[in-house]
Amino acid sequence: MKILIVEDNEDSRMILKRTLESNGYTIEEASNGVEALGLAKESPPDLIISDILMPEMDGFRLCYEVKHDEQLKKIPFVFYTATYTDPKDERLALALGASRFIFKPAETEEFLNTIREVLEEYKEKRLPVPEKQLEEDIAIYRMYVDSLVRKLNEKVKDLQHSKEKYQTIVENIFDIIYTVTSEGIITFISPNISLWGYSPEEIIGHNLLEFIHPDDVEHVTQDFQRTMTTGAEFPTVARLRKKDGSYIYIEEYGKVLKKGDRIIQITGSIRDITKRRKAEEKVRKLSRAVEQSSSLIMITDTHGIIEYINPMFIKVTGYSPEEIIGKNATELGMQSSAQQKQMWETIITGSIWRGEFYNSKKNGEFYWEAASISPVRNEEGIITHFIKVAEDITNKKKMEDEIKKRVKELEEFYQLAIGRELRMIELKNEIEELKGELSKYKK
């Protein structure tokens, strides 16, 4: 059996279509009453399911037209609505000749059972068919007008509420909201422009580029023109002049609003990102310092899993980031278990650990490190990472060993030399004694 669905919401129409098709019905679709009436006259369906609130021709008027058409008036008509929920709306629908009035969203099985009931009644010719001209029924006409007026009043209230809500948002949002013409002339600016020293009256009517730093005008203009040409959103970063003459960094997003092919205006938002830019610059400086540092730098999580190594670490150890990141830092070290324990007990309590230990290179060679390991805390003071800054002191350790060896040799030579000196003194004394004895014999 063929069912005509009349629904202006594409998503709702698709859901309804799939539900009915999966139960064996053939479906035709229309997005409003005018389109539906044309389809019905061209090829009458077995059932019409219609929403009420639609453009061009609403569901009530469609039902009226169907029930006054000699070819169509016997076709069962079911309303399926989420906006017309007043009992008066249901009475009007039934008075117009509708077979059922179903509220959205209905349980699928309940909805399908209702459709089956209506079709069964239609098959058995148990559905009532209007015989008189309804335009002569003043009571029904008044019900229709009353329903439209009531719904219109609801929409007006909704629009007023929406207007007040969005006005409150625009006036209190952190970003500055603006609209400009295709020439860049400001036609609206939100009141919070006062944050930068201006009143809306001092801004409206001026070109947005008047407030941009001279060095940034060119690229902002290019972004603006690209948006005008392609219609794509444009993000741009520039410096904007406050009323006191100082400049702040802003991040701006704009979007073209069109009516047909004609550009009506560009609307966008401006956000002060000065603090973020300064923070980013600090991070960039720190990053450059870390990248260019002559020290070996490693960052791990609180479990010792490596998350970052700098170029000097790569140069000294021969490991690539892919070979290191994700491993536990203890896999690279040659620390004793006692030294490791002492190190972890120090850093997990928030203190800095300093010491020397062996580490291994990729080629199996070992080298000495003098390292300091510090905890890194977040804004809440919780330790989130550890950073190790180390120096390769292998050559220094070799020099220390050489010096120690030389000192030992000199000490041994010194001891030997002292022994020889004492023996020379003894020999000299013996010689003197012998000379004294010899002189006696000469006399």
Q: Are residues 149 and 7 in the same domain?
A: yes
Which residue matches tokens 């010096």? 403
Q: Considering the domain boundaries, does residue 283 fall inside one?
A: no
Instruction: Look at residue 234 in the predicted model and tell me its pLDDT.
Output: 72
Gap between the Cα atoms of 419 and 110, Å rounded: 117
Q: Are residues 180 and 249 in the same domain?
A: yes
With a CB cutoff of 8 Å and minimum separation 6, the contacts of 304 are 328, 329, 330, 386
How many angstroms from the chain centroid is the CA of residue 52? Answer: 39
Return mean pLDDT, the chain.
82
Q: Are residues 381 and 435 in the same domain?
A: no
User: Is it the case that residue 88 has pLDDT exceeding 60?
Assistant: yes
Instruction: Look at residue 162 in the predicted model and tell me its pLDDT.
Output: 56
Q: Are residues 257 and 324 in the same domain?
A: no
Q: Considering the domain boundaries, does residue 188 fall inside one?
A: yes
Tally of CB atoms within 10 A around 54: 23
Instruction: Look at residue 245 in the predicted model and tell me its pLDDT.
Output: 93
Q: Considering the domain boundaries, does residue 232 fall inside one?
A: yes
Q: Considering the domain boundaries, does residue 383 fall inside one?
A: yes
Helix (H) or strand (E) run with residue 156 in it: helix 138-172
**pLDDT by residue (tens digit) across 202-255?**
999 999 899 999 999 998 888 888 877 777 777 889 999 999 999 999 988 888
Q: Is the dihedral of CA 134, 138, 140, 141 positive or negative?
A: positive
Question: Taking a C-beta distance cutoff of 8 angstroms, is the pair 52, 58 a contact?
Answer: yes
Q: Are residues 381 and 413 in the same domain?
A: no
**pLDDT by residue (tens digit) across 279-312?**
878 878 888 888 888 899 999 999 989 999 999 9
User: Is it the case that residue 133 has pLDDT exceeding 60?
Assistant: no
Q: Are residues 122 and 213 in the same domain?
A: no
Residue 413: domain span: 406-443
Among 55-64, 335-344, 369-378, 386-395, the least confident range: 335-344
Q: Are residues 194 and 265 in the same domain?
A: yes
Question: How is residue 187 written in tokens?
Answer: 């036609």
Question: How is residue 153 written in tokens?
Answer: 């009043």
Q: Are residues 260 and 338 in the same domain?
A: no
Instruction: Look at residue 91 in the predicted model and tell me its pLDDT.
Output: 83
Instruction: Look at residue 211 in the predicted model and tell me its pLDDT.
Output: 93
Instruction: Look at residue 7 in the predicted model and tell me its pLDDT.
Output: 93
DSSP string computed for 278-315: HHHHHHHHHHHHHHH-SSEEEEEETT-BEEEE-HHHHH
With a CB cutoff of 8 Å and minimum separation 6, the contacts of 271 are 174, 175, 176, 250, 251, 252
Q: Are residues 150 and 52 in the same domain?
A: yes
Domain-ending residue, one of 277, 309, 331:
277
**pLDDT by residue (tens digit) across 420-432?**
667 677 777 766 7
Gap between the Cα atoms of 127 and 423, Å rounded: 142
- The answer to pTM > 0.75 is no
pLDDT band at 114 (very low <50, low <70, confident <90, very high): very high
The DSSP symbol for 108 reads H
Q: Considering the domain boundaries, does residue 228 fall inside one?
A: yes
Check which CATH number belongs to the domain holding 381 and give it.
3.30.450.20
The more confidently predicted of residues 171 and 109 is 109
Q: Are residues 146 and 76 in the same domain?
A: yes
DSSP string computed for 347-391: HTTTPPEEEEEEEE-TTS-EEEEEEEEEEEE-TTS-EEEEEEEEE
Q: Considering the domain boundaries, does residue 163 fall inside one?
A: no
Phi, psi of 264 (to 5 degrees): -85, -50
Q: Considering the domain boundaries, does residue 74 fall inside one?
A: yes
Instruction: Look at residue 171 in the predicted model and tell me its pLDDT.
Output: 54
Q: Are residues 310 and 378 in the same domain?
A: yes
How many structural domains is the chain composed of? 4
Domain-ending residue, one of 253, 277, 301:
277
Gap between the Cα atoms of 38 and 45, Å rounded: 12
Instruction: Look at residue 419 in the predicted model and tell me its pLDDT.
Output: 67
Domain-ending residue, one of 392, 415, 433:
392
Q: Are residues 302 and 332 in the same domain?
A: yes
User: Is it the case that residue 443 has pLDDT exceeding 80?
Assistant: no
Gap between the Cα atoms of 380 and 383, Å rounded: 9
Q: Considering the domain boundaries, does residue 160 fall inside one?
A: no
Check which CATH number belongs to the domain holding 27 and give it.
3.40.50.2300
